[in-house]
Amino acid sequence: MKSTIFILMAFLFLLIGCKQETPESETPEEVLKQYQAFIDKNKFEEARALSTPAGRQWLSELEAIISNEQVDSTMLDTRFLSMACEGPGDTIKCSCVLEDQYERYTADYRLIHIEGRWLVDAPEEDIIIENDVIESVPDSLLEEYLEDEIGEE
């Protein structure tokens, strides 16, 4: 009888000791800070694990661009000076003020809640001025600019 109780107690302790705790859901702020830390250290594979499919594609492009640079010039130490995340539902925008060893700047991130996790999405595309837009500048403005330049000499 004592051995049966001992075996049951040992089994119970074993079950309690082996119980897997479900991890706390990470907040968007925590995910974003970890994501940026991975990028700072050029750990793109780890950053991809915290990214949406579009974010993973963007990281691959970034990795290809900086792969031609000296490693020490691409390592950053980014600090979040402020972060405000808001938005309805499963998509939020985080407006941040960041600082690295080179400058202080603002950045906006979009995070999407997918399958129980917050993931960082690709940044919104920057506006690119195409050559045809430049060519459509009225000639009168171009002439005025050239006259000003010539007149200053």
HSE, side-chain direction, 13 A CA sphere, residue 12: 6
What confidence tens digit (pLDDT) does each residue in 79-90 have? 999 999 999 889
What's the pLDDT score for residue 92?
A: 96
> From 2.40.30.40, 3.10.450.100, 3.10.290.10, 1.10.3720.10, which CATH number describes the 25-127 domain?
3.10.450.100
What's the pLDDT score for residue 2?
A: 53
> Alpha-carbon distance 22 to 93, whole Å?
27
Q: Where are the domains of the chain?
A: 25-127
What's the pLDDT score for residue 4?
A: 46
What confidence tens digit (pLDDT) does each residue in 35-82 have? 999 999 999 999 999 999 999 999 999 999 988 888 777 889 999 999
What's the pLDDT score for residue 1?
A: 53
